[in-house]
């Protein structure tokens, strides 16, 4: 009987973990994590040594900050989500996770993030409240600005910059350019994702670029954002060849693949056809980030 009770308790704990992983869409970590690792690798090159402890702390910061941001977004949007047929089955509106428990989770993840940042260096500690402010304000931004997509991009664009600062305790122009590339990349594909809720957002008086510009012009702006993304990546790659000696054709292939994925996702979506939006939003961008990051890491280690 005792063994059975222990098994049930373990099963319930695992089930709770799965619920929170679903709440924060843990699989979407694939968007920013490879860029954080790129920032770490470039920082390692400039610092002249690989520090596994710093790497672990950077990964912890990434996980804690993103978990806090996503759970906060779900907590703040719980009433809106309950009225949207597409999101009404999310964990909080569906009653799977209680709002106060989600809020406790946000507070816990935020504290863990600040502590992890403080264990890296003093600059990361001082910057950690600013990071939390940026990633939390996104959840409110669609209530007052159509540029909410850009704010989301800024939150993820801090990943490579923060990882570089963690290693070097300084900033780097090429890494900042990579951060800007992430900003416009994320803003561009978030515009695409927001197309599926434009009518609902109008009815709720929420702001987004599809609501403000209409589908056709919003898609056009998304393309412009992704052209800017490509420009920042190419410029960053050119500058990096002057400061590190391991950049080769492998990294160039990574940049070209990433740019090709930007072009491809815009072939999947039109203002009148959103049926492939999941492929454009998650599959294409997830693979682009993963393969791009992997090729940069391969270039560094080989």
d(CA 79, CA 90): 11
Domain with residue 61: its CATH number is 1.10.357.140
Question: pLDDT truncated to tens, each residue of the chain (302 aa)?
Answer: 554 444 333 334 445 677 777 676 666 677 888 999 999 999 999 887 888 999 999 999 999 999 999 999 999 999 999 999 998 998 899 898 999 999 999 999 999 999 999 999 999 999 999 999 999 999 999 999 999 999 999 999 999 999 999 999 999 999 999 999 999 999 999 999 999 999 999 999 999 999 999 999 999 999 999 999 999 999 999 999 888 888 899 999 999 999 999 999 999 888 888 888 887 777 888 889 999 999 999 999 88
Total domains present in the chain: 1
Residue 35 inside a domain? The answer is: no
Residue 9 inside a domain? The answer is: no
Provide the residue range defining the domain that includes 186.
41-301
Local structure of 130: helix, strand or coil: helix
105-108 contacts at long range (C-beta below 8 A, 24 or more positions apart): 105/20, 105/23, 105/67, 105/68, 105/71, 106/68, 106/71, 106/72, 106/75
Residue 36 inside a domain? The answer is: no
Residue 162 inside a domain? The answer is: yes
Mention every residue, 6+ apart, whose C-beta is less than 8 A from residue 185: 153, 225, 226, 229, 262, 285
Residue 221 inside a domain? The answer is: yes
Residue 31 inside a domain? The answer is: no
Residue 51 inside a domain? The answer is: yes
Residue 105 inside a domain? The answer is: yes
Mention every residue, 6+ apart, whose C-beta is less than 8 A from residue 24: 66, 67, 70, 71, 74
């Amino acid at each position: 009987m005792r063994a059975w009770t222990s098994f049930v308790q373990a099963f319930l704990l695992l089930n709770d973990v799965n619920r929170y992983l679903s709440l924060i869409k843990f699989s979407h970590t694939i968007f920013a994590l490879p860029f954080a690792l790129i920032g770490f690798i470039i920082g390692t090159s400039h610092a002249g040594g690989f520090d596994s402890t710093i790497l672990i702390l950077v990964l912890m910061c990434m996980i804690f900050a993103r978990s806090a941001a996503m759970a906060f977004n779900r907590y703040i949007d719980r009433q809106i989500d309950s009225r949207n047929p597409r999101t009404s089955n999310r964990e909080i509106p569906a009653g799977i996770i209680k709002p106060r428990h989600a809020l406790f989770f946000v507070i816990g993840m935020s504290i863990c993030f600040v502590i992890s940042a403080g264990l890296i260096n003093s600059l990361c500690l001082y910057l950690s409240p600013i990071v939390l402010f940026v990633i939390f304000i996104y959840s409110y931004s669609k209530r007052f600005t159509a540029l909410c997509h850009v704010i989301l991009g800024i939150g993820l664009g801090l990943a490579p910059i923060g990882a570089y600062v963690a290693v070097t305790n300084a900033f780097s122009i090429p890494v900042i350019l990579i951060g800007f590339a992430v900003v416009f990349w994320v803003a561009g594909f978030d515009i695409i994702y927001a197309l599926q809720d434009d009518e609902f957002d109008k009815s709720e008086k929420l702001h987004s670029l599809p609501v403000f510009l209409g589908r056709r012009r919003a898609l056009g702006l998304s393309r412009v954002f992704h052209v800017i993304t490509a420009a920042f990546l190419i410029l960053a790659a050119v500058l990096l060849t002057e400061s590190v000696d391991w950049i080769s054709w492998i990294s160039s292939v990574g940049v070209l693949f990433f740019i090709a994925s930007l072009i491809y996702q815009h072939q999947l979506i039109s203002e009148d056809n959103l049926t492939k939006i999941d492929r454009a939003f998650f599959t294409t961008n997830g693979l682009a980030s993963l393969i791009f990051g992997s090729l940069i890491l391969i270039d560094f280690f080989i």
